[in-house]
Amino acid sequence: MSKVLIVDDDAVIVEMMTQILQEEGLAVVTALEPLRVYDAAKRERPDVILLDIMMPYLDGWDELQLLHVDPDTSHIPVVFVTAKHGEFDSLPSERRGEFFDYLYKPFEIDDLVAKVRAALESHTARQPAER
């Protein structure tokens, strides 16, 4: 069963995403504390990470950098989740290659599921070469 790590400091968002993805047959683990993302990713070995950008202490961009420096977590596709519309409009192309995709809040259920499924397919396609 594929596993998704949801990281957001808003418990309501985390609960909603968890319910949606569990109904899709996915295993879900969560982290409400942004300082625990890297630890959770190392411990849980998720197939995809849904990562909020605007969080206290370390934001999603900082967390992404931590994930990228470790070979155990650098291959995990990250889908950014943000309420700041337009955040990715002027993002340089080299930064776009650092993450798999993004999702704006509020999101449509179909968009969430489609982006997670696409990230899972990407992760699965890369798995055999990395083992």
pLDDT profile of the chain (131 residues), mean per 10: 94 96 97 81 95 84 90 94 73 63 93 97 65 38
Strand blocks (E) in 1-131: 3-7, 27-31, 48-52, 78-82, 101-104
Q: What is each CA distance from 17 to 41, 48, 64, 75, 95, in whole angstroms?
A: 18, 13, 20, 22, 26
Which residues are paired to 50 by β-bridges?
6, 79
- Residue 129: per-residue pLDDT: 47
- Residue 16: per-residue pLDDT: 97
**Residue spans per domain, the chain:** 3-130
pTM for the whole thing? Answer: 0.87
* Residue 73 structure tokens: 């977590």
- Residue 32: per-residue pLDDT: 83
Rounded CA separation 72/96 (Å): 21
Asked if 100 and 74 touch (Cβ cutoff 8 Å), the reply is: no
- Looking at 3.90.1530.10, 3.40.50.10890, 3.30.465.10, 3.40.50.2300, the CATH number of the domain 3-130 comes to 3.40.50.2300
Asked if 78 and 102 touch (Cβ cutoff 8 Å), the reply is: no
- Residue 112: per-residue pLDDT: 98
- Residue 60: per-residue pLDDT: 84
- Residue 88: per-residue pLDDT: 60
Asked if 34 and 64 touch (Cβ cutoff 8 Å), the reply is: no
